[in-house]
Structure 1
Amino acid sequence: MSSVFSQDELAVIRRAYAKQILALSGIADNPRLEEAFAKVPRERFLGAPPWLMSRAVRGYEAVASHDPVVLYQDVLFALASEKGVNNGSPSLHARCLHTLRLREGERVAHIGAGTGYYTALLAYLVGAEGHVLAVEFDPVLAERARANLADLPNVTVVQGDGAEWPREDVDAIYVNFAVGRPAEAWIDRLKLNGRLIFPLGVPQPKPSPQGGTHSLYGAGLCVTRKSAGLAVRWLGHVSFVCAEGRLAQPGEERQALQAAFEGGGMEFVRSLVWRESATPGRCCFTGSGWALAYDEVPD
């Protein structure tokens, strides 16, 4: 893959891209995140051209240029177009990674790693003393991620069902597909003061025009384990491709969750009630063994 730009010039372009992505995301105080976006080459994770750019309802269109410089913009490129799986919006991921506030030396699980671009950013943020477990359900994407990340000793790639990972306690979990409820492992393996970011969503009734099934309604949620419970922060409306594997199974809660989205109030959720009785009248949504409540969790 060649470019009309030299490697030094591409480094400058990546630096400009990093500054633009953080500015689009409203982030002014995270130099380590900016450095991660500036250092990790996006083209390494997107395969050979022609690259397919997502045009939303228009589906995918091939990018005319084969120069990797075109990849340094805030757009989605296909990883598996037939499934609607993309290398997602850099500005959206920047906001989520900023919210995670990763520290050097922390252990992170990346669930739904795709081909590893955002895994590489996570690896940069936790540093050589930290560790990233990257889990990908699709065998082809997992193999690509394993090859792309082979030179990063602080990353382990696993091909498997994201519902079953992590299997050891971690400081943070970053999920990149929509689910109707969090997996038990995501809650149970989260350390005290650990952070979980996942897209809660209800799938569209039929596949998307660009392939795969995406969320009809979706909310990015950040869950923090405190000594007094699980605090929740709403991160905004999001649309992700929906889970495969165990978490894709339709459940009795789906209709109730859709009603909760349509009724409004998800942005006011402040806590996740897990394996406990929820207070009647204080919940946006109540499922089997869990609920999203309006009550604050004390520090």
Structure 2
Amino acid sequence: MELAKMRRRFAREMLAIGGVTGNERLENAFAHVPREKFLGPGRWHILTPWSHLNVDERDPALVYQDVVIALDEDRGVNNGSPSLHARWLDAVAPQPGERVAHIGAGTGYYSAILAELVEAEGHVTAVDYDPGCAGRAKENLANRANVDVVQDNGCFWPKEKSDVVYVNFGIPRPAVPWIENLNPGGRLIFPLGVPSSASSRGGAMNAITIAVRRLDSGFAAWSGCPVSFIFAEGLTPAPGNDEIKNLSHCLRKGGWERVKSLVWKQPADRAHCWYVGPDWALSYIAVAA
């Protein structure tokens, strides 16, 4: 009973910190999923803006706060900021019966929350590149009939039409299936960014949130606050230096908050774009609903 109260208080606090109001379904999802189940064996390495704390005593009270917990310290993988995910989940608003692709699912904590939101008639495909994380996610989510776990390169998923694509690693461009397998009205959210070095593996991120909705006339888009995510592993094809340099320049100059649409595989007017990639762009011009 005390743990249930703790999870409920945690859910309310994470939504409040994330600026989310009036979303009872999301609050319930956070309150129902046991975060400690997804953290693996051994001591917990709790990361805060001020300290790194190794905890031998596995007291759930320590993880029901706005902290991240390391899952693989060598690769820089952690359990994610719950207040950030509260904001993102509210933005994409998974509904009962919808199909969700969770790309970069880690050990499955937010996959479980997504599964709560789409309910029994919906479905979540949780994809992770790392065999260790994918194996742990399979164990953690084994009791959820509406979730499948796949170990694969997330840039190749989803392989069928989806209502939500929820991406948890930084990348310098959206993968083709994330865009082209969105249903009408479907939502995509991902961290657009560059690695801290020329390597495509690990490292601190310089990224922003990009959210996309598929409309009949194109793709509406908006950008959010800067975020920090591990960079994509197994990125295929690898981004060229020009692509990374151009995106780095745009991130440094700012102005992403005025983005209103994503231009996909068609000519873009550079004069009205925040960023122009090889076959896509983020434009200041809105598309008709």
Shift of 1:57: 8.3
- Aligned residue number for residue 4 of structure 1: none
Q: Is 1:155 aligned to residue 119 of structure 2? A: no
- Aligned residue number for residue 196 of structure 2: 204
Shift of 1:145: 0.1
Shift of 1:237: 1.1
Provide Cα deviations, 1:134-167, integer angstroms capped at 9, x if missing partner.
Answer: 0000000000000000000000000000010000
Which structure 2 residue ranges, 5 or more long, are not aligned?
none
What pairs with 1:173-252 in structure 2 (closer than 5 Å)?
A: 173-205=165-197, 212-215=202-205, 217-247=206-236, 249-251=238-240, 252=242
% same residue = 49
- Aligned residue number for residue 124 of structure 1: 116
Change (3 A) 1:298 1:69: same
Structure 2 residue corresponding to 1:278, chosen from 254, 257, 268: 268
Change (3 A) 1:20 1:248: farther
How far apart, CA to CA, are the structure 2 residues paired with 1:269 and 1:128?
35
1:212 counterpart letter in structure 2: G
Provide Cα deviations, 1:31-66, integer angstroms capped at 9, x if missing partner.
Answer: 0000001000001000124101124586x4302532
How far apart, CA to CA, are the structure 1 residues paired with 2:167 and 2:120?
22
Aligned length: 287
Shift of 1:236: 1.4
How far apart, CA to CA, are the structure 2 residues paired with 1:280 and 1:288?
12
Shift of 1:280: 3.2
The normalised TM-score by structure 2 is 0.96
How far apart, CA to CA, are the structure 1 residues paired with 2:77 and 2:198?
16
Shift of 1:246: 2.1
- Aligned residue number for residue 3 of structure 1: none
CA contact (8 A) 1:223 1:230 kept: yes
CA contact (8 A) 1:115 1:148 kept: yes
1:273 counterpart letter in structure 2: V
After superposition, the CA RMSD in angstroms is 1.6
Secondary structure (helix, strand or coil) at the match of 2:235 reads helix
- Aligned residue number for residue 14 of structure 2: 21
How far apart, CA to CA, are the structure 2 residues paired with 1:297 and 1:150?
41
Q: Is 1:265 aligned to residue 258 of structure 2? A: no
Tell me whether 256-265 or 37-46 shows the greater mean CA deviation.
256-265
CA contact (8 A) 1:54 1:78 kept: yes
Shift of 1:213: 1.3
Structure 1 residue corresponding to 2:90, chosen from 93, 98, 102: 98
Q: Is 1:40 aligned to residue 33 of structure 2? A: yes
Tell me whether 48-57 or 239-248 shows the greater mean CA deviation.
48-57
Q: Is 1:172 aligned to residue 164 of structure 2? A: yes
Q: Is 1:50 aligned to residue 40 of structure 2? A: no
Shift of 1:206: 7.3
The normalised TM-score by structure 1 is 0.93
Which structure 1 residue ranges, 5 or more long, are not aligned?
1-7
CA contact (8 A) 1:136 1:160 kept: yes
CA contact (8 A) 1:179 1:248 kept: no
